């Protein structure tokens, strides 16, 4: 897990705690919407990281399977 996704998840947790402690409906709603936004950012970051890792694995596999004089684009 990247530092960014950890940060996003921590912010979502902070919003959840603050929402639970809030006695004002509009403030609680705002904090819960903020929590969802942070969770979406964390999810997006994790998906991007997974895509990077997959591309890197694919690239390394292509390099390993290439003939010694052959070049691999990418």
Mean pLDDT of the chain: 92
Identify the pLDDT of residue 73.
67
- Please, are residues 35 and 19 in contact by the beta-carbon 8 Å criterion? yes
Identify the pLDDT of residue 69.
65
Tell me the Ramachandran region of residue 41: left when phi exceeds 0, alpha when psi lies from -120 to 50, beta otherwise: alpha
- Hey, where are the domains in the chain? 3-65
SS3 68: coil
Nearest alpha-carbon partner for 9 in 63, 54, 52, 46: 46
The residue with greater pLDDT, 43 or 70, is: 43
Query: Is the predicted pLDDT of residue 59 greater than 70, yes or no?
Result: yes
The residue with greater pLDDT, 18 or 71, is: 18
pLDDT tens per residue across span 28-41: 999 999 999 999 99
Across the range 7-23, mean pLDDT stands at: 98
């Amino acid at each position: 897990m990247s530092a960014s996704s950890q940060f996003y998840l921590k912010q979502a947790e902070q919003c959840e705690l603050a929402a639970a402690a809030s006695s004002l409906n509009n403030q609680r709603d705002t904090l819960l919407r903020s929590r969802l936004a942070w969770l979406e950012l964390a999810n997006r970051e994790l998906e991007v990281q997974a895509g990077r890792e997959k591309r890197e694995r694919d690239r390394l596999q292509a390099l390993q399977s290439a003939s010694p004089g052959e070049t691999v684009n990418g």
